Amino acid sequence: MQKGRPREFDKEQVLDKALHVFWERGYEGTSLSDLTEAMGINRPSLYAAFGNKEELFRRALDRYAEKGPGAVHREALAEPTAKAVVERLLKSAADSLTDPANPPGCLAVQGALSCGDAAESIKKELCQRRSLAEQELRQRFERAKAEGDLERRFEPESLARYVMTVLQGMAVQAAGGAARADLHAVAAMAISGLAAAEN
């Protein structure tokens, strides 16, 4: 009698399951047993399809950025004005961070906040990804300034850092149980603060 699971499985589906486990427990808080149980595959299948745990986490991060809540960042950058970029980022973040279909908070912010030395490469990976997101936002604000869409007093680098700091703070608040309305209030305050500074 054959007991093993078949090798064939939908890689996208099992990657989504792994993503949710990492999102809920963080990188170091997730064991291989947690992953194989959630993904419904055995360890040899996991290794064959995704490599080791670290590589699986990176693939999950890519999935998060491409098709999950991380996609909001890319969509927001396409907005026609700097103000619309900020509004889209903060309001969409309030929704995605509190989506009941997902764990609360942000995988890219919380994924390795409390990792030990063994997960140093993962901490660096997440820092690099957050830094890239801030750089993309800064470049978008630089373009807005060149187009005359952003007030002179706004320095693109500082504005990008401010917006990312608000976003990351919202993620921490969501992980701590903040309600969607609470995060929308934070977003509204940040947006109104920027609008007031324009006047």
pLDDT digits (tens, 9 = 90+) for 122-141: 888 888 999 999 999 999 99
Higher-confidence residue: 6 or 180?
A: 180
Which pLDDT score is estimated for 93? 93
pLDDT above 50: residue 152: yes
User: Angle of helix 82-97 relative to helix 180-198, nearest 10 degrees?
Assistant: 170
Q: What is the pLDDT of residues 38-65, one digit of tens each?
A: 999 999 999 999 999 999 999 999 999 8
Instruction: Set out the domains of the chain in order of their start, with CATH numbers.
Output: 11-63 (1.10.10.60), 71-198 (1.10.357.10)
pLDDT digits (tens, 9 = 90+) for 160-185: 999 999 999 999 999 999 999 999 99
Residues 117 and 168: their CA atoms lie apart, in Å, by 23
